[in-house]
Structure 1
Amino acid sequence: MSAIARVDTATVVLPLPAPLQLGAMTVTRREYTAVRATAGDGTTGVAYCLSREAPMAEIVERLVASHAVGTDADDPASTWGRMLRGSAIVGRVGLVRRAIGLVDIALWDIAARRAGVPLWRLLGTGDAPRDAMLVAAYPSPQRTPREVADEVLAQADGWSQVKISRIPDPAYMRELLALLNAELPDTTGLVVDVGFGWPDADTALAEIAQWGDPRLAWLEDPLLPEDAAGVARIRRESGLPVAVGDEVTDPAVLKALVEVGEVDALRLDVVAIGGVTPARELIAWAAERGVPVSGHVYPEVTAHLGIQVETFARGVNPYDPAPSFVTGGPRFDGAVTPSDTPGLGFGLDPAVFRFERD
């Protein structure tokens, strides 16, 4: 048996060219935390996440890493239980679960590398191209609906879904949605991400009524995910499909969104939910109930899980700098095909992430 020898962290801050407004949040920069786990035989595994300005590296180092060190490098699921129990007194959900998720993903990377197979083969999800959603635009008052629609249309070819964020101006949204509904290919669905921007179902329904009669693949994250009953009401009274789940760390909240909220798709953040180990269980649980699962960012990982993959444009884009530091990974061409390289099949640019022990 080879054991996990150490877990290292690194954090980097990358500015955005212009602020993004998503719901009640204004994003001016992207901060990422990365984990690199190393087994006794020298095999390494990596993971990264948006820190959302939380001290993710410190949480990994102080509360999680010690519970992974010394565990079987070929049995990440058992290590996950040890990490959860070891930190249970301070956090079975929330930031600690995110930290566990980071380490868990890196450990699955190691396990698959040691087995000499890509992670999708170890998980049994196959290598068929994954359905994919492109995050295409963030509207702002500084740009007209026509300009935003043109940005989306320039990218839409070949993608089964494109996503825009909501702007809290109903007249603007009405014009933008009318343009996109008229001009997007029939094969491309439109998603509107509210980013938890509405406080309650009454407010949501009043604003949606001013949007005209939009055709949406789904309305994403209209309310905080804990308000499953409010989500169900929006879905029922607006007639729009709804998907919720971004950033959720508690599996019980995701299950309530299916059972009470009656969501049309369940959004799953593989880091936030605690990594590959619990994500597999939730994906299987949702499949038993006929509910599709859509991954929240981190396409290099979700491509291995057999669910819908969300991605920003690869290369340089104004919304997500991650493609600038990820090396290797899946193939993006409207669908997303997981890498056939052993492990997760991607790396992190060492010029960007400088781990303390390098």
Structure 2
Amino acid sequence: MSTIERIDTATAALPLPAPLQLGAMTVTRREYSAVQAFADDGTTGVAYCLSREAPMAEIVDRLVAAHAVGADADDPTSTWDRMLRGSAIVGRVGLVRRAIGLVDIALWDIAAQRADVPLWKLLGTGDAPRDSILVAAYPSPDRAPREVADEVLAQADGWTHVKISRIPDPAYMRELLALLNAELPSATGLIVDVGFGWPDADAALAEIAQWGDPQLAWLEDPLLPEDAAGVARIRRESGLAVSVGDEVTDPAVLKALVEVGGVEALRLDVVAIGGVTPARELIGWAAERGVPVSGHVYPEVTAHLGIGVETFARGVNPYDPAPSFVLGGPSFEGRIRPTDAVGLGFALDPGVFRFGKD
């Protein structure tokens, strides 16, 4: 039996060319944490995540890694339970669960490599092209709605959905949505990401009423995900389809969004929820209820899970520098297809992530 020998961590911060306004948050840089897991036979697995300025690498080092070391390299599910139970006294949700998720993904990478198959084959999800969401634009007051619409339209062909963020100016949104509804390809759905920007359903409904008649595939993250009843009210009174779930670490919150909020699609952050191991269970649970699941970022991982995949424009873009350090991964051609390479099928640029040990 091969076992996990060690877990190394690294963090990198990459500036954005201009600040992004996401709901109530202003983002000026993207900080990423990464892990590199080693099995005693030399197999190496990797994973990365947006740290959101939290000390993710330190949490892995201090609270999680020791519970993975010595575990069976072919059994990440059992190792996930070891990591959760070993750190349960300080948190089964929140940052600790994110840290567990980061390690869990790297361990699944090792398990699939040792089986000499892509992760999607080990998971049994197939390699059919996945529905795709392209994060296409972040409107801002210094850019006219026509300019933002043109940015979206230039990228839209072939994608299942394109997504823009909400700007808290109803007149601006009304004009922008009218342009996109009139000019987007008929096969491409439009998503507006609110980024938890409204405090309650009253505020959401009052603003949506000023948007005219938006034709949306769904309205994303209008409220904090714990407000499932508020989400249900927005759906009911606005008539818009709604999707929520980004950054959620507690499976009970995601299940309440389906059972109480009645969301049309469930958003799933594979790192935040604790990795591939719990994500598989939640995806199966949602499938039994006929609710599609859409992955939140990390396309290199979510492409293997058989769910919708979200990505930013590949290459250099002003919103997400991850493509500059991810080597390999799925193909991005409108719909997204997982790689045939063994394991997760991607590596991290060693010039960006400098792990603690050789």
1:250 maps to amino acid: D
- Aligned-residue offset at 1:291: 0.2
Partner-residue secondary structure (3-state), 1:135: strand
Which structure 1 residue ranges, 4+ long, deviate > 6 Å from structure 2?
A: none
Counterpart in 2 of 1:329?
329
Partner-residue secondary structure (3-state), 1:149: helix
Counterpart in 1 of 2:81?
81
Partner-residue secondary structure (3-state), 2:210: helix
Report Cα offsets for 1:73-120 as digits up to 9, x if no partner. 000000000000000000100000000000000000000000000000
TM-score by length of 2: 1.00
Q: What is the alpha-carbon distance in structure 1 between the residues aligned to residue 22 and residue 130 of structure 2?
A: 26
Report Cα offsets for 1:1-20 as digits up to 9, x if no partner. 00000000000000000000
- Aligned-residue offset at 1:205: 0.1
The equivalences for 1:93-104 within 5 A come to: 93-104=93-104
Counterpart in 2 of 1:126?
126
Counterpart in 2 of 1:301?
301
- 1:110 equivalent to 2:110? Answer yes
The equivalences for 1:1-358 within 5 A come to: 1-358=1-358
Q: What is the alpha-carbon distance in structure 2 between the residues aligned to residue 2 and residue 351 of structure 1?
A: 29
Q: What is the alpha-carbon distance in structure 1 between the residues aligned to residue 65 and residue 309 of structure 2?
A: 28
2:55 maps to amino acid: P
- Aligned-residue offset at 1:277: 0.1
Report Cα offsets for 1:190-238 as digits up to 9, x if no partner. 0000000000000000000000000000000000000000000000000
Q: What is the alpha-carbon distance in structure 2 between the residues aligned to residue 301 and residue 83 of structure 1?
A: 20
Structure 1: segments with no counterpart, 5+ residues? none
- Aligned-residue offset at 1:288: 0.1
Count of residues paired in the alignment: 358
Q: What is the alpha-carbon distance in structure 2 between the residues aligned to residue 132 and residue 213 of structure 1?
A: 24
Q: What is the alpha-carbon distance in structure 2 between the residues aligned to residue 342 and residue 22 of structure 1?
A: 36
Q: What is the alpha-carbon distance in structure 2 between the residues aligned to residue 242 and residue 332 of structure 1?
A: 26
Q: What is the alpha-carbon distance in structure 2 between the residues aligned to residue 350 and residue 56 of structure 1?
A: 19
Report Cα offsets for 1:309-335 as digits up to 9, x if no partner. 000000000000000000010000001
Q: What is the alpha-carbon distance in structure 2 between the residues aligned to residue 331 and residue 105 of structure 1?
A: 20
- Aligned-residue offset at 1:259: 0.0
- Aligned-residue offset at 1:342: 0.6
Identical residues among aligned pairs (%): 87
Partner-residue secondary structure (3-state), 2:12: strand
Q: What is the alpha-carbon distance in structure 2 between the residues aligned to residue 129 and residue 9 of structure 1?
A: 32
Q: What is the alpha-carbon distance in structure 2 between the residues aligned to residue 275 and residue 255 of structure 1?
A: 17
Q: What is the alpha-carbon distance in structure 2 between the residues aligned to residue 54 and residue 152 of structure 1?
A: 31
Report Cα offsets for 1:272-316 as digits up to 9, x if no partner. 000000000000000000000000000000000000000000000
Report Cα offsets for 1:163-189 as digits up to 9, x if no partner. 000000000000000000000010000
Q: What is the alpha-carbon distance in structure 1 between the residues aligned to residue 115 and residue 303 of structure 2?
A: 19
Report Cα offsets for 1:234-270 as digits up to 9, x if no partner. 0000000000000000000000000000000000000
1:83 maps to amino acid: M
Partner-residue secondary structure (3-state), 1:304: helix
Q: What is the alpha-carbon distance in structure 2 between the residues aligned to residue 290 and residue 68 of structure 1?
A: 35
2:307 maps to amino acid: I
Partner-residue secondary structure (3-state), 2:305: coil
Q: What is the alpha-carbon distance in structure 2 between the residues aligned to residue 209 and residue 343 of structure 1?
A: 47
Report Cα offsets for 1:334-354 as digits up to 9, x if no partner. 011101111000000011111
Q: What is the alpha-carbon distance in structure 1 between the residues aligned to residue 5 and residue 144 of structure 2?
A: 54
